[in-house]
Amino acid sequence: MTARIGVVTFPGSLDDGDAARAVRIAGGEPVRLWHGDADLHRVDAVVLPGGFSYGDYLRCGAIARFAPVMETIVDAARGGLPVLGICNGFQILCEAHLLPGALTRNQHLHFRNRDQILRIEATGTAWTNTYQAGQEILIPVKNGEGCYVADAATLDRLEGEGRVVARYVGGNPNGSQRDIAAITNSAGNVVGIMPHPEHAVEALTGPSLDGLGFFTSVLKHLVGAPA
């Protein structure tokens, strides 16, 4: 049976269509979820896409965190539902306290849009199990508020527990502390990533196919998950 992967659309979402396409290319069934509908429609995993939810008013992700769909997602994620937050989705996960820390204005105060090398550091998550530890991948980054920050104790805990999923290589595009590009929760089912794996899933439109592994990983995870 094909895994059903929900992709949430908020007012201002930009990359929900791209995320749904990535799910389909990976072999899953994308299911479109609406921000105002708390029903997850029996999905097996969820992607929170990039964009500018609710116009980024107050703070990026601060309003989206209170959307009806997020109330359900937060509860389901705490129960083990795989959730991937990409860019704005990462910001929403932090605002919802599913992940620690925050994403703030890029240190250089400029929007960055470029192809970026990442090094995968954690392969035990629901979203990275098809990669090799230390593998370098090339996917686009595009953000104005992508600087990951946290207090020193949180950063040390993320490092010590192996919860830094990916780091920037060959230049940090936004000033994120310790070059952090992606992190996970302690259970490994929730991952937030600032660059965009959904933009690197086919040769025609991406700089590589390196992002596809995030989506094939969750399908592999779901196959091995208890019924």
Catalytic residues: 87, 196, 198
DSSP 171-208: S-SS--GGGEEEEE-TTSSEEEESS-GGGSSSTTTSS-
What is the identity of the amino acid at 91? Q
Q: Is residue 60 within 8 Å of residue 148, measured between CB atoms?
A: no
Beta pairing partners, 102: 149
**What is d(CA 226, CA 101) in angstroms, rounded to the nearest whole number?**
31
**What is d(CA 100, CA 117) in angstroms, rounded to the nearest whole number?**
24
